[in-house]
Structure 1
Amino acid sequence: MTHDAAEGAVRSSASRPARVAWGLLSALLLIWVVFEAVKHGGWVIVAAVAGVVAPDLSFLVGASGPHGHGQLPRKTVPVYNFVHRPVVALAVMLTCLVPDSPGVAVPLFTFGLAWMQHIASDRAFGFGLRTAEGWQR
């Protein structure tokens, strides 16, 4: 797929059923994140909000680099793609299995859960990983 600056933003070409599945997962994860935040309160609420916002902070990496409308700067792409992979969020969620860390386990799990919800929402709305040039795949 080739792009030029006049073409503008392009969304993922994922099939409709795939996007619906991501949307359902996103809704389920949102309910779970809210449940965990309400159940535990305090730092878990902060972790939940941070988990939803943190993946998009990758836009700040190399944000001043040359790019067209709908395209990420080349410097931003590796970080953006890394933090928008479900396996990374899942790895954060699995840190709750570390023994002797109950005060850290629940906020970290909820952070990873909210991160996963962010990824699922992006996929449901058609925003996936980027090519090396910064365009949607």
Structure 2
Amino acid sequence: MVMTEPAGATRSSTSGGVRVAWGTLGAFLLAWDIFEVAKHQGWVIPAALVGAALPLLPRLAGLGRAGRPGRLPAGLVPAHNLLNRAPIPFAVMVVFSFLGDRPEDIAAPFTFGMSWLTAIALGRAAGFGLCTREGWQR
């Protein structure tokens, strides 16, 4: 089977309005992330950094591998698509909202989920999203 490069851009063809909505959500979440980090500090800082980097890890792992520009190696697509689904970090935020007796108990894992969701939202606003099985942007 011969795989051909999709016609057009290698980024998402999502409408401008949807991308603006993702960007607005991303900006709101980024401001909230900064607020949470400044308020709680401590373990919240590395949790926020790890959460922000998490959806980028499959792309970073694919750097330098043989392939076409704009295409993720097929072996990394499942991890990329899993780590770039918004309901997962949102669920982390919801679950940790109900755990712990004090805000300090949940601040780090909640901010981890929020930073993860922020990275997804800003990525979607920039035109990046889930990939096809072959590694192209949908």
After TM superposition, the score normalised by the length of structure 1 is 0.86
**Equivalence map 1:1-137=2 (5 Å):** 3-4=4-5, 10-59=10-59, 66-96=66-96, 97-99=98-100, 104-137=105-138
1:15 partner letter: S
Report the CA distance shift for 1:76/1:8 in structure 2 as closer, same or farther (over 3 A). farther
State the Cα RMSD in Å: 2.4
Cα offsets for 1:72-115 (capped at 9, x unmatched): 11110000000000011112212312346865521000000000
Segments of 5+ residues of structure 1 without an aligned counterpart are: none
Give the whole-Å Cα distance in 2 for the aligned partners of 1:69 and 1:8. Answer: 13
Report the CA distance shift for 1:79/1:101 in structure 2 as closer, same or farther (over 3 A). farther
Segments of 5+ residues of structure 2 without an aligned counterpart are: none
Give the whole-Å Cα distance in 1 for the aligned partners of 2:22 and 2:37. Answer: 22
Give the whole-Å Cα distance in 1 for the aligned partners of 2:34 and 2:63. Answer: 31
| Maintained 8 Å contact 2:51/2:114 | yes
Give the whole-Å Cα distance in 2 for the aligned partners of 1:13 and 1:62. Answer: 22
Q: How many matched pairs?
A: 135
| Maintained 8 Å contact 1:23/1:120 | yes
Q: Give the drift of 1:59.
A: 2.8
Q: Give the drift of 1:55.
A: 1.4
Q: Give the drift of 1:54.
A: 1.6
Give the whole-Å Cα distance in 1 for the aligned partners of 2:49 and 2:65. Answer: 28
Identity of aligned residues (%): 46
1:86 partner letter: A
1:114 partner letter: S
Q: Give the drift of 1:68.
A: 1.4
Give the whole-Å Cα distance in 2 for the aligned partners of 1:99 and 1:105. Answer: 6
